[in-house]
């Protein structure tokens, strides 16, 4: 990359921001548990969510203050999401879904800070979360309905001759859930952050020409960055929301496979 830059190539490496840098090398019984920049931001996210939900509520005021209102709104928001998508028997899983939503949301929002690491821009993280949801939901489905859970793969009213095909498609679509769930979150954040970096690079390219025209031309990508930053904040929230809503829907399938 240094060579590219010297040759007048693209000034910013848009991929550089996704690099994992080991801060403290750790090893537990052969498992590489090195504390990396990704771990750092996971820990920051954890502390931020904890501070948000526990310390903002320490007053437990009957009339909530500003922070307490936001915490309560988040609580009600996720609680409604679970109730509407997974039904009342989904309430048992509310703590998990709340944690999932807050963790992904805060990680995404922290990713918007300059020099911060975007935890969810790594497929392994989103895939691990998606697999946790997938395995958890499948276990809940079998625990709650026994073999009746398999009815999920046999939709009502499918014509007899097509039934094997329909069942096959249903099974494939079920198995592809963790992939679509994880790739959606990962790809959205990855693409957004790369786009921002590329437009930032354009500004440097334009300005480094030194000409008036070049500096004037930098205004366009600058405007794009402003607009994209706003969009990325939306994406940060929206993807956390989508991830959580889909989790609720999968949970609903597990709890009520007949529908």
Residue numbers of the site for other proteins (CB under 8 A)? 15, 18-20, 22, 26, 28, 31-36, 38-39, 42-43, 45-46, 49-50, 53-54, 57, 60-62, 64, 68, 71-72, 75-76, 94-96, 98-99, 102-103, 121-125, 128-129, 186, 190
Shortest distance, CB of residue 13 to other proteins, whole angstroms?
Answer: 9
Cα 85 to Cα 79, 140, 211: the distances in Å are 10, 16, 57
Scored b (16 or more CB within 10 A) or e, 105-126 reads bbbbbbbbeeebbbbbbbbebb
| CB nearer to other proteins: pick between 206 and 243 | 243
3-state secondary structure 177-229: HHHHHHHHHHHHHHHHHHHHHHHHHHHHHHHHCCCHHHHHHCHHHHHHHHHHH
Q: Distance between CA 228 and CA 220 in Å, rounded?
A: 12
Shortest distance, CB of residue 7 to other proteins, whole angstroms?
Answer: 16
| CB nearer to other proteins: pick between 33 and 172 | 33
| CB nearer to other proteins: pick between 100 and 224 | 100
- Residue 129's SS3 state is helix
Q: Which two tokens stand for residue 54?
A: 């526990």
| CB nearer to other proteins: pick between 107 and 218 | 107
| CB nearer to other proteins: pick between 19 and 173 | 19
Shortest distance, CB of residue 134 to other proteins, whole angstroms?
Answer: 15
Shortest distance, CB of residue 187 to other proteins, whole angstroms?
Answer: 10
Shortest distance, CB of residue 225 to other proteins, whole angstroms?
Answer: 22
| CB nearer to other proteins: pick between 57 and 222 | 57
Rg (CA), the chain: 23
- Residue 157's SS3 state is coil
31-37 LR contacts (CB < 8 Å, sep 24+): 37/117
Shortest distance, CB of residue 37 to other proteins, whole angstroms?
Answer: 10
């Amino acid at each position: 990359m240094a060579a590219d830059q010297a040759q007048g190539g693209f000034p910013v490496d848009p991929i550089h921001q996704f690099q994992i840098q080991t801060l403290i090398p750790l090893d537990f019984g052969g498992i590489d548990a090195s504390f990396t920049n990704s771990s750092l931001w996971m820990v920051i996210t954890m502390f931020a969510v904890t501070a948000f939900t526990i310390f903002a509520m320490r007053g437990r005021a009957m009339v909530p203050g500003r922070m307490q209102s936001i915490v309560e709104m988040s609580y009600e928001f996720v609680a409604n999401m679970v109730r509407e998508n997974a039904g009342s028997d989904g309430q048992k899983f509310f703590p998990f879904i709340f944690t999932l939503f807050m963790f992904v949301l805060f990680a995404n929002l922290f990713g918007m800070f300059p020099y911060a690491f975007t935890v969810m821009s790594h497929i392994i993280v989103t895939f691990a979360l998606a697999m946790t949801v997938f395995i958890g939901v499948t276990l809940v489905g079998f625990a709650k309905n026994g073999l009746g859970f398999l009815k999920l793969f046999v939709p009502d009213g499918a014509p007899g001759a097509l039934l094997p095909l329909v069942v096959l498609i249903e099974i494939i679509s079920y198995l592809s859930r963790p992939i679509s769930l994880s790739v959606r979150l990962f790809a959205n954040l990855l693409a957004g952050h790369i786009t921002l970096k590329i437009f930032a690079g354009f500004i440097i390219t334009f300005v480094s020409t030194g000409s008036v025209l070049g500096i004037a031309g930098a205004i366009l990508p600058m405007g794009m960055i402003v607009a994209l930053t706003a969009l990325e904040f939306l994406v940060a929230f929206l993807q956390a929301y989508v991830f959580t809503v889909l989790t609720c829907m999968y949970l609903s399938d597990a709890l009520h496979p007949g529908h």
